[in-house]
Amino acid sequence: MVIAFTAILGLLIGSFLTVVVDRVPRRASVVAPGSACGGCGLELGPIDLVPVVSWLALRGKCRRCRAPIGVEPLVLELTTAGLFTVLAIKFPRLWELGAFCVLAGGLVALSWIDLKTKRLPREIIYVTAAIGVPLLCVAALVRHEPKRMLTMLIGAALALAFMGVVYLVSRGGMGDGDVRLSPLLGAYLGWLNPGFVAVGLFLGFVLGAVVGLALMAVGRAGRKTAVPFGPFLAMGALISIWIGQSLIDRILHR
Ligand SMILES: [Zn+2]
């Protein structure tokens, strides 16, 4: 029941994130005006905003002028719903589920914007932290484990320190947005287990390196091309949230 509800909530949040990724980089309001077709200006009504279903019914085209809408809404809605579903299975306690869904939504928006514009807008990082960190604190208190608030701070500090060093050593190879994102990821990972901070960052760097080398191999990127790193940090963090414990167990007990 909770899982189905969370999945549907993910579709709705994903629909909202489609607006966020379009407007935040342009510094436009995410609440007003309502969404409209980029082709003919037709304002989208409630029916057009039903996630996935309306896109499929209209085959990704505007109801009036048939201008293509693109796959963006579909990708963001399904990705967000998929992540929310996994989190609902992982976190049966509601405060934790809420906190981690906030992170997932923020990371979906940030990753998409980074892929499109190679930027990680600080507004989205700060809003995600401003909603997510208080939820993590409540979740720690509800569990009667206040020390998680301490490990959360330690995680944030560790991640920021590590990424700060990488930033200085790489001399511009790493964006300052990635550094700004790191304490948010570190806070969440530290809340779970400070060891996850190392796992998450390590996975992020491995994924980024593998994809970066692959792009170089097929000639899509040169050594100087900036590869957006935010999506890899996000993926590394989400993977270690999901299976960090079994990864650590496997490393320590072999
Ligand atoms: Zn139109």
Write the secondary structure of the chain as one string of H (helix), E (strand) and C (coil): CHHHHHHHHHHHHHHHHHHHHHHHHHCCCCCCCCCECCCCCCECCHHHHCCCHHHHHCCCECCCCCCECCCHHHHHHHHHHHHHHHHHHHCCCHHHHHHHHHHHHHHHHHHHHHHHHCCCCHHHHHHHHHHHHHHHHHHHHHCCCCHHHHHHHHHHHHHHHHHHHHHHHHCCCCCHHHHHHHHHHHHHHHHHCCHHHHHHHHHHHHHHHHHHHHHHHCCCCCCCCCCCCHHHHHHHHHHHHHHHHHHHHHHHCC
Are both 153 and 199 inside the same structural domain?
yes
Report d(CA 23, CA 32) in Å as an integer. 10
The predicted model gives 157-180 an average pLDDT of 90
Are both 64 and 98 inside the same structural domain?
no
Domain boundary (31, 52, 81) is at 81
**pLDDT, tens digit (0-9, with 9 covering 90-100), for 80-139:** 999 999 999 999 999 999 999 999 999 999 999 999 998 999 999 999 999 999 999 999
The residues placing their C-beta within 5 Å of ligand 1, an ion, are 37, 39-40, 42, 62, 64-65, 67
CA of 219 to the centre of ligand 1 (A): 37
Are both 168 and 246 inside the same structural domain?
yes
Q: Which of 83, 109, 115 is nearest to 22 (CA)?
A: 109
Are both 129 and 244 inside the same structural domain?
yes
User: Residue 31 belongs to what domain range?
Assistant: 1-81
CA of 69 to the centre of ligand 1 (A): 9
The predicted model gives 29-35 an average pLDDT of 86
Are both 160 and 222 inside the same structural domain?
yes
Are both 11 and 124 inside the same structural domain?
no
C-beta of residue 106 within 8 angstroms of C-beta of residue 79: no
CA of 74 to the centre of ligand 1 (A): 18
Task: Give the pLDDT confidence score for residue 198 in this predicted structure.
Answer: 95
pLDDT confidence bin for 252, thresholds 50/70/90 = confident
Task: Give the pLDDT confidence score for residue 44 in this predicted structure.
Answer: 85
Task: Give the pLDDT confidence score for residue 85 in this predicted structure.
Answer: 97
Task: Give the pLDDT confidence score for residue 144 in this predicted structure.
Answer: 97
Domain boundary (35, 59, 81) is at 81
Domain boundary (49, 81, 113) is at 81
**pLDDT, tens digit (0-9, with 9 covering 90-100), for 211-250:** 888 888 887 666 666 678 999 999 999 999 999 888 888 8
